[in-house]
Structure 1
Amino acid sequence: MITLTESAIQELKRLRSKYEKEGSQPILRLGVKPSGCSGLSYVMNFEPQANPDDHTFDFGELRVAVDPLSMTLIQGLTVDFSEDLLGGGFKFKNPNAVASCGCGTSFATAETAAAVGH
C-alpha cells in the first residue's frame, strides 16, 4: 500500500494539469532508481497509462502506478507535501528505509545498505 496525504494529492493534481491533453488524465508513476547519497532515489513523473504488471492505487481522481521492483522497496510509503519556504516540497516516509540523507529523496533499505557496505 502507498499513502498520499491530502496536501500531496492536491499538489500532484495541480502538477498533473500541465500534462493533461483533451480527454486524458495522466497517471503518476512513483518508483525508485539507483542514485543519490544513500543508493536509491525516489522518482515521480506523469505517464499516459499504467503498465500491465504495475501496482495501481486510486486517490479520488488521481491514479498512481508503481512497478513491481519499486513496490518491494516502498511498500508502506507515505508521500506528503509542504509549502514551507525552507524545506518545503514532497516528503517521503518509507518504513523500509534504514538510512537516508539530508536531501530527503535518497534512501537505503537493509538489502541495499548491505550491498554497498553501509
Structure 2
Amino acid sequence: MDNTDAIAALAALAQTTRLDAFRLLVEREPKGVPAGELARLMAVPQNTMSAHLSILARAGLVSGERRSRSVIYRANLARFREVALFLLKDCCGGRPDVCAPLIADLTPCCAKAEAND
C-alpha cells in the first residue's frame, strides 16, 4: 500500500455516515448487509447511502455482490488490515516496548470473538 491508497481509504472513512456504515458492515461479517437494509438501519435515504457505499468501494473498503434484486455489501477486512498495517509499519521506530500497549488494546477484541466461537 502506498500513501495515495492509504489517503483514499482514510478519506473514505473520514465522514460520519461512511464510518458508521463501515463499522456496521464489519459487525455483520461474513454475511454482509443488503444496501436497502443498510440504508434503513442507518436512517439514510437509499440514494445517499448508495453514494457513500460507492466512495467506500472506490477506496476498496467494501464490496457489493448482486443477489437477485439486491446488492449485498460486505466490509473488505483484508483492505482494512492493509490500511491498519500501513499506519503501524515501523511502529514507534522499531521499539516494540512503545507499541506493546497498542497491541494489547487490539488483542482483547479478537480474543473475545474467538472465545465466543
Higher strand share: 1
Structure 2 length-normalised TM? 0.27
Structure 1 length-normalised TM? 0.26
Mark the structure with the bigger radius of gyration. 2
Higher helix share: 2
